[in-house]
Structure 1
Amino acid sequence: MFIETRIQQQAKLDLSGSVAPFELPLPDMPAHVWASPDTLRSRFHLEAARYFECESVLAVTGIESGISALARLFQTWYGAMRVVLAEPSFDQWDKRFRRANHVVLDWPVDLILAGDIPECDVVVLGRPVNPTCQMIGIKQIKPLARRLREQGGWLILDEAYLDWTGEESYASFIEAEPAIVLRSVAPFSGLAGANLAFVCGPKAVCTALLNEVGTQAVSSPQWWLALQYFEAERWREDQLQRLADVCVRLEALWRERLGATVEIYKGGYFISFEHPNNDRWATRLEELGVLVRTYASEACILRCGVPKNEADWLRLGKAIKALDV
């Protein structure tokens, strides 16, 4: 007796991440890249200094690798430090600094910008803040960086999502007002598997971090990818417009459910908003096969990424319409 059992399970639509839906087009990688690490590394340092307008740039295998390396380096240099995370923030800052035995305190970003900062050695600040998309200007950053360095501490700026804003990076101001800046390739390039990020900082910091992560951490193909990313100036200009357009479309899709009074933040690769129903909506969307992300706050923040194709747009639209008020 033959029994055929068919189990059909539709894959979930994962919109919980924050990566652009449009990918940086890459040429075929030449085979000689594998055998040319020294040449590629030298080219990288020249192009990175030009791109970031910063003398010292260290490539690392993803933003989390850079966070871990900084946490370990600070433990080596200073021992356990008091670290203030401007909330909301990327959860890996909390996890990895605690893992390195630092004392971590969450603190509202608005209080930090107002100068109301508890005694600490390090302040970690998103620029822009994820997921509220709050943009913090260079003029606000400089005095904070100066204050911390005068006290023997550090300001760390998480600029992983800066590219979609078109704003100037703080990396070019590091020499005058020292701080540490982290950048990432994946979000803006749409290459979710790029696993490549950069730490911009004073030379002593980048040199020590290189000893922490090791000279072989970044592979030849990653050096090559970094160079492609730096050179894609025209593509980046077009990408800014594409992202602006899809965020307007995503806002309109949610506006039908939210009404006219709820403020929606557009973040290039996602939108986010505060609403008392967000926890319930996120659960219901998951039941409908759509994954979004929520952040704890007074009214709860829901972040929804941008779909990649028309079928996904249609699927999200149907799921949003199925939500109760």
Structure 2
Amino acid sequence: MLEHGGNLRDAAREYGRPIADWIDLSTGINPHWYAAPAPDANAWHRLPEADPALAAAACAYYDAPAMLPVAGTQAAIQALPRLRAPSRVVVAAPSYAEHAHHWGQHGHELRQVPYAQLADAVDHCDVLVICNPNNPTGERIAPALLLEWAGKLAARGGWLVVDEAFGDTEAQASLGPHTGQPGLIVLRSVGKFFGLAGLRLGFVAVHPALLVQLADMLGPWSVSGPAQQVALAALTDTHWQEAMRERLRGEGARLHQLLAAHGIACSGTALFQWWPEARAETFWRHMAEAGIWVRLFRHAAHGIRLGLPPDEHAWLRLQQALTTWKHT
């Protein structure tokens, strides 16, 4: 399997520090997670029938005409390449590695293209896959330009797949409202903004014809009953959502400023910052020795991604580790 953040057991084993002593900044997941209500007792007993109320809540929250709940967007990332005949596929690079990994299978011709060259690649592919905002760099592409590309691809039976996993604090940039048109597929995650990665729940906004094909491929009972009930509460709690967006924007700005104060020019989203780091592995080890687990990117994006500290004690430990790094 590909390497991902959140692997604290690996960190604890390698550095001999108990998991409880670590600050995990490796995932970009909101450290102030939604307080999930206890599900109904029979949620553990009944087969998890699809709840129409959950799909309706997702359509309202993501402003999309139709949405399919899936067991994390990972399920859709793995399934979508199996719904097309062998195609010419371009995946923006660098980006979430699972996209290229799965499109590289099932007979597709895969190319990974830097964001700056995507406009030229649109006319020479059948499927274009983009993270917007990008994971890990935070790079963004204007919605109007994405819609132009989607139209070009759809005209020849192609797809534009947009992964908006980190888009909850930038709702105005979402393509969800446009997913009634053929060929435009938008992926959304409950794990990042709501901090509920363990729920394993995401949504796919897509034209109804393709939605049915995807649902058939994933099969029945793909999302657990407890996950459906927790997500329904989170998606309809507008007070929590508004307060959390404001909080995350403030903390994202604080993280950016803290890194800048230590000579690090970074970019990102409200949930993480990223920068190309010449001594990336050395920085990663330095932080690990201080009990701070950050995400090291060794390949296409040679750099560091760093999420939000969960509390003031963690902010102080991060500041201290950055200070000692600056003087190495």
Shift of 1:176: 4.0
The correspondence for 1:125, drawn from 126, 130, 139, is 130
Larger Rg: 1
Shift of 1:274: 2.8
Q: Show the counterpart of 1:269.
A: 271
- Asked whether the 8 Å contact 2:90–2:129 carries over to 1, the reply is yes
Shift of 1:168: 4.0
- Asked whether the 8 Å contact 1:164–1:240 carries over to 2, the reply is yes
The runs of 5 or more residues in structure 1 that have no matched partner are 1-6
Q: Show the counterpart of 2:142.
A: 137
- Mean alpha-carbon deviation: is it higher for 126-135 or for 287-296? 287-296
Distance 1:246 1:216 in 2: 37
The secondary structure found in structure 1 opposite 2:129 is strand
Letter in structure 2 aligned against 1:95: H
Distance 2:109 2:156 in 1: 18
The runs of 5 or more residues in structure 2 that have no matched partner are 1-14
- Asked whether the 8 Å contact 2:28–2:307 carries over to 1, the reply is yes
Residue 69 of structure 1 pairs with residue 69 of structure 2: no
Q: How many residues align?
A: 311
Distance 1:45 1:200 in 2: 10
Distance 2:314 2:107 in 1: 42
- Asked whether the 8 Å contact 2:70–2:203 carries over to 1, the reply is yes
- Asked whether the 8 Å contact 2:37–2:230 carries over to 1, the reply is no
% identical aligned pairs: 29
Residue 303 of structure 1 pairs with residue 308 of structure 2: no
The correspondence for 1:53, drawn from 57, 60, 63, is 63
Q: Show the counterpart of 1:13.
A: 23
Distance 2:175 2:165 in 1: 12
The secondary structure found in structure 1 opposite 2:254 is helix
Q: Show the counterpart of 2:280.
A: 278
Residue 148 of structure 1 pairs with residue 153 of structure 2: yes
Q: Show the counterpart of 2:225.
A: 220
The correspondence for 1:201, drawn from 202, 206, 215, is 206
Q: Show the counterpart of 2:115.
A: 109
RMSD over equivalenced CA pairs, Å: 2.5
**1:22-33 aligned within 5 A:** 22-33=32-43
Q: Show the counterpart of 1:86.
A: 92
- Asked whether the 8 Å contact 1:253–1:317 carries over to 2, the reply is yes
Distance 1:188 1:246 in 2: 13
Shift of 1:193: 0.8
Distance 1:203 1:222 in 2: 23
Letter in structure 2 aligned against 1:254: L
- Asked whether the 8 Å contact 1:160–1:183 carries over to 2, the reply is yes
- Asked whether the 8 Å contact 2:259–2:265 carries over to 1, the reply is no
- Mean alpha-carbon deviation: is it higher for 241-250 or for 9-18? 9-18
TM-score scaled to structure 1, two decimals? 0.87
Shift of 1:284: 2.3
Shift of 1:268: 1.4
- Mean alpha-carbon deviation: is it higher for 298-307 or for 234-243? 298-307
Letter in structure 2 aligned against 1:283: R
Q: Show the counterpart of 1:3.
A: none
